[in-house]
Chain A
């Protein structure tokens, strides 16, 4: 009887574990329009955890891990805009509201609706995103593109470049998660 109970608990814990997918090398691209040049930062070390049972989804982003082509752009991003020494991380904690409509065990593409709280530049806001979830060969790929208004997160643009830099930024997520073993 004890053996049976032990096997049941072990099986149940494995079942719970098997519903979590993760990565530490997800991609987030930060893109701002400017008439002068392309401002693009890429972070390929984004951590993400998805619990397919509850739909809970978490992203953790180190701001200094964004890579820009130009040194000056990278410095301005960290020092003048995101103030990465003061606010080193951004994160999102939310839930896929339609997760029961997604079959995570079968290959296919699904639309996903996500709500949650995003913290950026020390400001936490309730947000709602839409995106796509693709299941292929046991891996889960999340893609989404959203516009963020800089003033929502108290990110100010210096007066000297106020007219040259867009007040909103495009944030693109493209991350492939693997089963947590």
Chain B
């Protein structure tokens, strides 16, 4: 270490500052930003505004009449107002199915697990407004499961 200080003594402060920046600050910053980029969590949509809002019936009807526009909604943050048909939960997750008892068709919403504490008062049969990313849809003509739209990263639409 002493040898290093002796060797550096001959340089002026400006050169030392450049050396310090090039060999210490930039690599450290680079590693820090790379680490942050790699470990970035999935996007939290709680404070984002949905680009479009639909009623359950409006959007589920698109599986019958307008799949082209439904395809365009994939990966898009949308809000859906509807009735809770079923709540499936465990200690780490909540998935809600929107729909009604007259049809097998439904929308499944996988909730963002960072916001599960906001869901304590939900009940099956009650109305909800939820927003999330549409991940895909199924049109079932064979199994009797009805048509399904799937959403993830969901939060309450306040």
- In the complex, how many angstroms separate the beta carbon of B39 from the nearest chain A beta carbon? 6
- In the complex, how many angstroms separate the beta carbon of B44 from the nearest chain A beta carbon? 10
Contact of A64 with B136 at beta-carbon distance under 8 Å, contacts A24-B97, A45-B95, A70-B42 already known: yes
CB atoms of B135 and A72 under 8 A apart: no
Contact of A180 with B152 at beta-carbon distance under 8 Å, contacts A65-B135, A70-B38 already known: no
* Chain A residues positioned under 8 Å from B37 (CB to CB): 72
Q: From the candidates A44, A47, A49, A88, name the one contacting B88 in the complex (CB within 8 A).
A: A44
* Chain B residues positioned under 8 Å from A126 (CB to CB): none
CB atoms of A67 and B153 under 8 A apart: yes
Interface residues on A, range: 20 to 34
Chain A contacts with B in 42-99, Cβ cutoff 8 A: 42-45, 47, 49, 58, 60, 62-65, 67-72, 74, 88-89
Is A121 part of the contact surface with B, judged by Cβ < 8 Å?
no
- In the complex, how many angstroms separate the beta carbon of A71 from the nearest chain B beta carbon? 5
CB atoms of A22 and B145 under 8 A apart: yes
- In the complex, how many angstroms separate the beta carbon of B34 from the nearest chain A beta carbon? 11
CB atoms of B40 and A88 under 8 A apart: no
Q: Count CB-based A-B contacts (< 8 Å).
A: 75
Is A156 part of the contact surface with B, judged by Cβ < 8 Å?
no
Is B138 part of the contact surface with A, judged by Cβ < 8 Å?
yes
Give the residue name and chain of the A residue nearest to B40 (CB): A71
CB atoms of A47 and B145 under 8 A apart: yes
Q: From the candidates A22, A49, A70, A180, name the one contacting B40 in the complex (CB within 8 A).
A: A70
* Chain A residues positioned under 8 Å from B95 (CB to CB): 25, 44-45
- In the complex, how many angstroms separate the beta carbon of A40 from the nearest chain B beta carbon? 12
Contact of A65 with B110 at beta-carbon distance under 8 Å, contacts A25-B97, A72-B37, A89-B138 already known: yes
CB atoms of A72 and B145 under 8 A apart: no
Contact of A89 with B40 at beta-carbon distance under 8 Å, contacts A25-B95, A44-B93, A58-B143 already known: no
Give the residue name and chain of the B residue nearest to A67 (CB): B152
Chain B contacts with A in 96-110, Cβ cutoff 8 A: 97, 106, 108, 110
Per DSSP, are chain A's interface residues mostly helix, strand or loop, or mixed? Answer: strand
* Chain A residues positioned under 8 Å from B110 (CB to CB): 43-45, 65, 67
Contact of A71 with B42 at beta-carbon distance under 8 Å, contacts A25-B97, A45-B150, A47-B145 already known: yes
Is B30 part of the contact surface with A, judged by Cβ < 8 Å?
no
Q: From the candidates B106, B135, B144, name the one contacting A62 in the complex (CB within 8 A).
A: B135
A62 and B41 alpha carbons, distance in the complex (Å): 21
> Which of A49, A58, A65, A74 has most B Cβ within 10 Å?
A65
Q: Chain B, 128-146, contact with A by CB distance < 8 Å: what is the 0/1 string? A: 0000000111100001110
Beyond known contacts A45-B110, A62-B138, A71-B43: 14 more, CB 8 A cutoff? A20-B144, A24-B148, A42-B93, A47-B148, A64-B74, A67-B42, A67-B152, A67-B153, A69-B41, A69-B42, A70-B39, A70-B41, A71-B42, A88-B136
Pairs A–B under 8 Å by Cβ, sample size 19: A25-B108, A44-B88, A44-B95, A47-B138, A47-B145, A49-B144, A58-B143, A62-B150, A63-B136, A64-B74, A64-B135, A65-B110, A65-B135, A65-B152, A67-B110, A72-B37, A72-B38, A72-B40, A88-B136
